[in-house]
Amino acid sequence: MAHRVGPEDWLKVVDGDLAVVRLCLNAAPPLVLHATYNCQQAAEKLVKAVLVSLGIDFPKTHDIDKLMQLVPVTVPIRDVLVPLARFTPYATAYRYPGEAADLSDDPTAEDIASWLAEIEAVRAAVEGYLRP
């Protein structure tokens, strides 16, 4: 019998992505571009965790805006998730050479540290929403 993937499974993967971000930031020198990608991945998976909790199917996409369109406006955690959409470009921006041409500035280690704190706060809010 196959295990049904639940929101807690998505949160475990988020935790792994956030652990990678911390490892990248602590590397010498910091692996900023790799940390950027994993911030996007964590943000995307937080939205997917909420969608799974609501029983809403979603397409295979890295577009957080598209995923957010599936979250009903009546869902209390929605407003906490909306700012995560700004991470969408980082799903592919640094995975391949030359892909970041549409981004005005590369993030710094300080930017990533700030993003990490923000995403961790959203993760805590999502967990609170899932386990009231």
What does CATH list as the number for 7-130? 1.20.120.330
Q: How many CB atoms lie within 10 A of CB 19?
A: 12
Give residue 52's pLDDT band: very low, low, confident or very high (50, 70, 90). very high
Instruction: Please calculate the CA angle 26-31-35 and round it to the nearest 5 degrees.
Output: 90
70-121 tens-digit pLDDT:
999 999 999 999 999 999 999 888 776 666 655 567 899 999 999 999 999 9
Separation of alpha carbons 129 and 54, rounded Å: 11
106: DSSP letter: P
No. of helices (H) and no. of strands (E), the chain = 5, 0
Supply the Cα-derived Rg of the chain in whole angstroms: 15
DSSP string, 7-44: HHHHHHHHHHHHHHHHHHHHSSS--HHHHHHHHHHHHH
Give how far the C-alpha of residue 96 lies from the chain's centroid of Cα atoms, to the nearest Å: 19
pLDDT at 10 over 70: yes
pLDDT at 118: 98
